[in-house]
Amino acid sequence: MNDMNSALIEGTVVASPAVKAKSTVSGSSLVMFRIASNRYYRDRKNEEGKWLADTLYLDIACWGSLGDFCMESICKGQTVRVVGRIKNSTYKSPDGSREYSRFSILAQHITFRQRKQNGEGEKEEEITLNAGNEDDAALLAEPIVVYEY
């Protein structure tokens, strides 16, 4: 039986998408951006019960057409909802003395709001990874408008 590795996170884009790598074999590119997701809670230690924010910063990785579309459509300040799988990357410090670990989300589905050019409001678009071989992240569906107002 396979273990389940699935993540759903919503947050605000704090670093605009950027191409990090280009695969020479498949021709698809890796696009990365960073989001901040806030969890609000009430501080019970004082009488006022102030609301505090616990912020989690996560890197989002997108391959192929999903990444290309994110490069064109997502910018800093937008709210996005990402469905994907958690990936752990390890790397060493430049001098090789320490090893670091960093978690990111490998996106399979992204929903975001995009402002219309003519100022008539916002529209929400959905990008979904096609069913089939999940390792072939270059096979992506075209974006679909799921809600418009």
* Predicted pLDDT at 86: 93
The average confidence (pLDDT) of the chain is: 77
* Predicted pLDDT at 82: 92
* Predicted pLDDT at 44: 79
What is 40-88 written as a DSSP string?
EEE-TTSSS--EEEEEEEEEEEEEHHHHHHHHHH--TT-EEEEEEEEEE
User: What is the average pLDDT across 112-133?
Assistant: 53
How much is the pTM?
0.71
* Predicted pLDDT at 64: 84
- At 64, phi and psi to the nearest 5? 65, -135
Domains of the chain: 7-41+50-109 (2.40.50.140)
* Predicted pLDDT at 117: 53
- Mind listing the pLDDT tens digit for each residue in 128-140? 543 334 444 433 3
H/E stretch holding 110 reads strand 99-115
Q: Which of 81, 83, 70 is nearest to 10 (CA)?
A: 81
- Mind listing the pLDDT tens digit for each residue in 73-98? 888 998 999 999 999 888 888 898 88
- Mind listing the pLDDT tens digit for each residue in 25-42? 767 788 999 999 999 888
* Predicted pLDDT at 57: 95
CA distance linking residue 31 with residue 19, whole number of Å: 4
